[in-house]
Structure 1
Amino acid sequence: MDFRQVREYIGKLDQVFAVKQYVLQGGRQEGVHAIDVSTGAGMELTILPDRCMDFYQLKLNGKGLNFLSPTGIVGPSYCGKAVDGWLSSFGGGFLTTCGMDNIGVGGEDQGEILRMHGSLSNTPAEQVSVCTTVEEGVPTVRISGVMRDATLFLGDVHMTRTVVLRHGINAFEFTDRFVNVGFSTRPLMLLYHFNMGYPLLDETAQLILPTNRVTPRTKHAADYVEQYACITPPSTPFEEMCYYHDIQADDQGMATVGLRNAQQHLGVEITYDKKVLDHFVQWKMLGKGEYAIGLEPCNATIDGRADARENGSLKYLAPGEEVVCRFRVAAYQ
């Protein structure tokens, strides 16, 4: 039914397209700002402005599509500061954004001590905006916020994320715009840690990975490279594996990856701009209680910034320069 007709049946838009803002209480999630959106077609998305505008839960018809780690939601003030402290605040979620100064393992590069996967996912948003309008006859919500990576003597890079959801559609788009507002060229490392989980992910699921080439990251991963796409039941012990993929792209440079589960009647597809995110990592972690597949578009290798600098994959952002990453996420039965 066209929304112009639907309007005659409702008193408030929340009946068919709900946007709710609230603050979490209790434990290490205390004070975290959250935004829930229900599109009215079965998709529900939870956005955490205090965690880089990342996506904590994505559901379709009440079924979760992503992995949630034992840490749960951790507010920025409780995040560990050690080089590997990222793990103690990694809640999983549908998306955890990594960068801007480092992705992958922590360490030192040119005198800077860098945390595992950087500090971006623990950065709260400023200038948060939630705006619901009717665009071309369709109720639409635009949610945006600004994350700043600023340190005296090291530079100032801003990231603006804008998420767009529409009534009646089980898909959404988001755009990340990175701008160097400082006066020195800075490394820019980005990794989008999409985490597939149960019930979408089980041993009956199938990866959507149109790959031209598979490269194991470690010797352990190399031992199982022929089974990179094989999804097994949870087991323990299970040692994680990572594989680099050269994902196929269309004529516009857009690539699509995902996961489908015919038995659960669930599927997710993620479309991204491979011209900007020219690397891709598959994270395979099928341990008991740690059961996840990571689909991770990125712009460099993941053995730390010093290694990326040496192998030539490290990207830079000059003063005044900007980089834009565009995504579309679709869920289906």
Structure 2
Amino acid sequence: MKYTKLITSAAFFIMLTTTLAHAKTYILTDTEQNIDLGAWKVSGPNYSIEQRVLRGGKQEGTKVITLTSDHGLTIALSPTRGMGLLYAKGQGIHLGWSSPVKEIVNPSYIQLDSRNGLGWLDGFNEMMVRCGYEWTGHPVVADGQIYSLHGKAQNTPASYVAIHIDDKAPYAIHIKGLIKESTFKKSDLQTMTELVYVPGESTFKIHDVLTNHADYPHDYQIIYHSNFSQPILEDGAKFIAPVSEVSPFNDYAIKGLETWSKYLGPTKNFDEMVFNLKPIADAQGNTLAALINKAGDKGVSIAFNTAQLPVLTLWKNTDTLKQGYVTGIEPGTSYAYPVTIERAQNRVKQIQPNQSIDFELTYSLLSSAQQVKATEQRIAQIQGNHKINQLKTPIAKE
């Protein structure tokens, strides 16, 4: 009897280790099960995925996951910083920007209500930031509270992080992270973020699912603040997207309305200039926006659906290189005005109890004139004969 038990236990151990050896799902963090793997790495035939834990300064304890693909992209994101994308690169092209904030700042060192609600800027250096989901936009005091700049999601560490690798072609890699905005008496919004990448490709997808776990409806807003700089952004670079309307965000942007889609090189004393856009989509609601370099042989595009993300913001911050030379392409449910203005103009949406809402975006690195031309043709096709209406004054005043 004891011998039989020994054989059974040994067989079970072999079966268990074999299963683990071929496991395609790896849980890196799970607060419910008290799991935190810290430093971790896995490799495949044409990829590697590594999680590092940063040390020192304001990045102490920050986690960074880097996915590297042979002949494809290298993508870095931070579970500590709301699963925000730090950068993507490939074919000698870097997607992201150089912020004066050099560390990947741990949210424990950030006070969102500092500088009259602008504390969010103390950690702002990512390629893509989720601005939301409880609220977004410029800070404002209303309803007896401070609505700090661009919400809390980006400074909320993920409560659950898992990596899944498909066992069937094309063997996509999924990096998931759960962001909880759960506050007693206020909200219980939870977003399962997901980055999907097929090794070797020059595109990747973001698929986020926002769920209201509360028993009451709740407002929500989201802006996918996507930031790019050199080598694509330069003097003579251009922004393209099918749009029906362009308006200046504020009085300062009025002076740049005639050249809203064109870029300067690094320019001292250039303050940020923002434009509100109404995107046009095809019959399925699909559209895209792109940044193209002067020569027309490098670029980046973002595809999204206007049923999920109905508005588009263009942020031009062509200041000096040290100050932060960058532009933002920002699909969203709202513009960057304070939540009070967005609510008054009916752009704040509401999610019902137990309801889930999907958001999908596809980022593509364009590394040749042929790829740029194909993107330009697709945008021109969606634009069709629609004229662009340029409003001369802002649609709101802060």
Q: Do the structures match in fold with TM over 0.5? A: yes
* CA-CA distance at 1:140 after TM superposition: 2.1
Cα distance in 2 for partners of 1:143, 1:280 equals 26
**DSSP-derived class of the 1:244 partner:** strand
Residue equivalent to 1:102: 135
Residue equivalent to 1:8: none
Runs of 4+ deviating beyond 6 Å: none
Cα distance in 1 for partners of 2:239, 2:153 equals 28
Match of 2:203 among 171, 174, 192: 171
Amino acid of the residue matched to residue 191 of structure 2? M
Match of 1:21 among 38, 51, 55: 51
Gaps of 5+ in 2: 1-41, 368-398
Residue equivalent to 2:340: 306
Cα distance in 2 for partners of 1:218, 1:293 equals 17
Counterparts of 1:37-76 in structure 2, within 5 Å, are: 37-72=67-102, 73-76=104-107
Q: Give yes or no for the alignment of 1:295 onto 2:329.
A: yes
Cα distance in 1 for partners of 2:87, 2:182 equals 29
Amino acid of the residue matched to residue 122 of structure 1? N
Amino acid of the residue matched to residue 43 of structure 1? L
Q: Give yes or no for the alignment of 1:131 onto 2:161.
A: no
> Does the 8 Å CA contact 1:129/1:143 hold for their aligned counterparts?
yes
Summarize deviations over 1:218-277 as a string: whole Å, max 9, x none. Answer: 111112100111211111111111101111211111110111226484221111121111
Q: Which structure: greater strand fraction? A: 1
Cα distance in 1 for partners of 2:96, 2:235 equals 15
> Does the 8 Å CA contact 1:101/1:114 hold for their aligned counterparts?
no
Bigger drift between 254-263 and 191-200 goes to 254-263
Q: Give yes or no for the alignment of 1:200 onto 2:235.
A: no
**DSSP-derived class of the 1:303 partner:** coil
* CA-CA distance at 1:13 after TM superposition: 5.1
1:23–1:68 CA distance, 2 compared to 1 (3 A): same
May I ask how many residue pairs the two structures share in their alignment? 320
* CA-CA distance at 1:51 after TM superposition: 1.0
Match of 2:146 among 75, 88, 113: 113
The structure with the largest alpha-carbon Rg is 2
Match of 1:36 among 61, 66, 73: 66
1:30–1:264 CA distance, 2 compared to 1 (3 A): farther
Gaps of 5+ in 1: 1-11
* CA-CA distance at 1:14 after TM superposition: 4.1
> Does the 8 Å CA contact 2:43/2:49 hold for their aligned counterparts?
no
Summarize deviations over 1:104-156 as a string: whole Å, max 9, x none. Answer: 111123223211111111011111001223322x3321110100011111120
Residue equivalent to 1:274: 306
The RMSD of aligned alpha carbons is 1.6
**DSSP-derived class of the 1:77 partner:** helix
Cα distance in 1 for partners of 2:174, 2:134 equals 27
Amino acid of the residue matched to residue 147 of structure 1? I
1:81–1:246 CA distance, 2 compared to 1 (3 A): closer
Residue equivalent to 1:219: 251
User: Percent identity of the aligned residues?
Assistant: 26
Cα distance in 1 for partners of 2:298, 2:202 equals 12
Q: Give yes or no for the alignment of 1:146 onto 2:172.
A: no
Residue equivalent to 2:34: none
Residue equivalent to 1:4: none
> Does the 8 Å CA contact 1:66/1:197 hold for their aligned counterparts?
yes
Tell me the TM-score normalized by structure 2.
0.77
> Does the 8 Å CA contact 1:171/1:331 hold for their aligned counterparts?
yes
